[in-house]
């Protein structure tokens, strides 16, 4: 075989072996771009109690005063300040009884409740990089290997398709294998830069799992946390032990700019050892116009309100490492930029689906082979089963009662049960009939999500959230409606195509 044939073989076999896993990572990662919005949508009680976030300085003072009164003896406080995406303070503190988290009204200081316990959009984020509920180390290692294979597949794909620019402008619809190949080419070219960057940055983030030997040699087998602390922070000056009474909050606020140089606003603050002689308070600004995770930070001796030296590690290596996180996670991105990134992710899913179906089509003459049957069912299980399970996960959030304290495990169990049920459809029905039935069910579930919101929580439904411009909540329902209608259109085209063939 010549060089190009070798690359084609690598592209085909590496692609088909990891195809379904990479599709899983692509889809869950695309959804995870909106995990903050899904988190808020998943706890509709929040928006019924808080309409709009006040100025961040005011929200921060409310949170500080509450914790100073109710968690004065805690080891640490962490507060995510209310903003336009999440209009509530998220209070976290650690004491002798463990870790605690509460949502707070940033105007009044009252804790919000009852609020349903759910992983919301964080579930998809955990799926994306740990294959939850696998142990995080094992799941992340599998994802890292998949990222390496994706890099190889992208590069070999470019070499294999030597007429790639010419073929980009050709699409022959309803031509069987030719259509799938054209679709695979076009979507592959559109998403190639995006996924090349995502695969590379993802591999850099998880490098300690793929190449652990250097890290273990320098830091020991359990030195990962120490390594990342060194990458993010330099050793800072310690406060002078003068007294154990923290300064009033306004002493810190007057030393902080309203906006950072990039236009970023106050986003969170952290208090270590509150009401102790070594108490420290740090303020972090948001990621606006910042790709790295090294956002503007101000650190103070909490007992004297004296500003201490910068703690960020701003060395070139640290900035590069931080940038890989920022680029991959998209924290810097505006709403429209995240929509573009998510669309690129979905287009990548189309590329994979076209590749998997093309492999299946090329082997239709061997339909009795076990390899053909396996790939056929895996294609159905992944390309239709995973979107169905994701839609069911969201629907369950609206159906299960708020008093159900087992919502998190129930949602997770129902997600996987729904996903496994897709295999039953593909085994019980002829594949074409199974596709029609299952796509109909997916469309119905997606449309039912905003309908269920209207029935169970009218105040958080589209009827109320759109006029009040609560886009973080309305966007999820709108996306479900759009995807549901799109599924119906795709189903119509598929049935029409089958009818023309008959």
Residue 228: which of 317, 123, 125 has the closest Cα?
317
Measured at the CA of 91, the angle between CA 86 and CA 96, to 5 degrees, comes to 155
Average pLDDT taken over every residue of the chain: 86
The 3-state DSSP class for residue 406 equals coil
Whether 238 shows a pLDDT value over 70: the answer reads: no
Residue 187 has pLDDT above 70, yes or no: yes
Confidence at 227, pLDDT banded by 50, 70, 90: confident
Q: How confident is the model at residue 403 (pLDDT cuts 50, 70, 90)?
A: low
The three-state DSSP-derived secondary structure of 428-478 is HCCHHHHHHHHHHHHHHHHHHHHHHHHHHCHHHCHHHHCCCCCHHHHHHHH
Supply the pLDDT for residue 220.
73
pLDDT at 393 over 80: yes
Tens-digit pLDDT profile for residues 66-84: 999 999 889 999 999 999 8
Whether 23 and 352 have beta carbons less than 8 Å apart is answered as: yes
Of 14, 120, 17, 25, the residue nearest 328 (C-alpha)? 25
Whole-model pTM: value is 0.90
**Distance between CA atoms of residues 435 and 426, nearest Å:** 8
| Confidence band for 215, pLDDT divided at 50, 70 and 90 | confident
Q: DSSP letters along 94-127, please?
A: EETTEEEEEEE-TTT-PBP-S-----TTHHHHHH
pLDDT, tens digit, 9 for 90 and up, residues 44-64? 878 777 877 889 999 999 999
Strand partners, 249: none
pLDDT tens digits for 285-313? 998 888 888 888 899 999 989 998 877 88
Q: pLDDT digits over 360-382, tens only?
A: 887 766 667 787 888 889 999 99
Considering the chain, what percentage of its residues have pLDDT values greater than 70? 91
Q: State how far the Cα of 342 lies from the Cα of 438, in Å rounded to an integer.
A: 24
Nearest to 32 by CA among 441, 390, 487: 390
Each residue's pLDDT tens digit, 433-464: 999 999 999 999 999 999 998 898 888 888 88
pLDDT of residue 167: 65
Q: How far apart are CA 134 and CA 131, in angstroms?
A: 6
User: How high is the pLDDT of residue 398?
Assistant: 87
| pLDDT at residue 116, rounded to an integer | 79
Which segments of 66-193 are extended strands (E)?
A: 76-80, 89-95, 98-104
């Amino acid at each position: 075989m010549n060089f190009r044939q070798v690359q084609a073989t690598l592209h085909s076999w590496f692609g088909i072996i990891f195809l379904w896993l990479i599709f899983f990572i692509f889809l869950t990662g695309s959804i995870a771009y909106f995990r903050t919005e899904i988190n808020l949508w998943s706890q509709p009680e929040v928006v019924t109690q808080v309409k709009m976030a006040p100025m961040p300085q005011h929200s921060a003072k409310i949170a500080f005063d509450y914790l100073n009164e109710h968690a004065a003896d805690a080891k640490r406080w962490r507060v995510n300040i209310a903003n336009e995406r999440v209009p509530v303070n998220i209070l976290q503190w650690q004491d002798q009884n463990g870790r605690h988290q509460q949502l707070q009204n940033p105007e009044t200081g009252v804790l919000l409740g009852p609020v349903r316990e759910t992983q919301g959009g964080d579930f998809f984020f955990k799926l994306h990089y740990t294959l939850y509920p696998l142990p995080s180390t094992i799941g992340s290692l599998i994802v890292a290997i998949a990222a390496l294979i994706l890099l190889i597949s992208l590069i070999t794909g470019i070499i294999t398709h030597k007429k790639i620019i010419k073929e980009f402008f050709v699409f022959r619809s309803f031509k069987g294998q030719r259509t799938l190949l054209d679709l695979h080419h076009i979507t592959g070219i559109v998403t190639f830069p995006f996924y090349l960057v995502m695969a590379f940055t993802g591999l850099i983030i998880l490098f300690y799992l793929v190449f652990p030997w250097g890290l273990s040699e320098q830091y020991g087998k359990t030195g990962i946390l120490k390594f990342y602390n060194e990458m993010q922070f330099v050793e800072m000056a310690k406060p002078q032990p003068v007294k154990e009474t923290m300064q009033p909050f306004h002493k810190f606020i007057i030393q902080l700019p309203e906006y950072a140089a990039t236009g970023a606003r106050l986003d969170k603050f952290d208090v270590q050892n509150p009401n102790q002689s070594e108490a420290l308070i740090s303020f972090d600004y948001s990621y606006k116009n910042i790709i790295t995770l090294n956002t503007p930070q101000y650190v103070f001796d909490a007992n004297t309100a004296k500003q201490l030296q910068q703690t960020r590690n701003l060395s070139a290596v640290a900035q590069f490492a931080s940038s890989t996180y920022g680029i991959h996670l998209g924290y810097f991105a505006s709403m429209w930029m995240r929509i573009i990134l998510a669309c690129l992710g979905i287009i990548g899913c189309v590329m994979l689906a076209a590749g998997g179906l093309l492999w299946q089509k090329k082997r239709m003459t061997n339909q009795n082979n076990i390899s053909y049957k396996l790939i056929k069912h895996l294609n159905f299980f992944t390309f239709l089963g995973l979107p169905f399970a994701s839609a069911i996960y969201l629907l369950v959030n609206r159906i299960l009662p708020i008093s159900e304290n087992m919502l998190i495990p129930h949602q997770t169990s129902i997600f996987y049960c729904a996903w496994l049920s897709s295999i039953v459809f593909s085994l019980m029905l002829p594949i074409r009939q199974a596709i029609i039935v299952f796509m109909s069910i997916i469309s119905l579930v997606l449309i039912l999500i905003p309908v269920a919101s209207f029935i169970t929580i009218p105040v958080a439904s589209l009827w109320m959230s759109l006029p009040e411009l609560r886009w973080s909540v309305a966007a999820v329902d709108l996306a479900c409606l759009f995807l549901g209608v799109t599924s119906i259109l795709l189903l119509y085209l598929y049935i029409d195509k089958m009818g023309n063939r008959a």
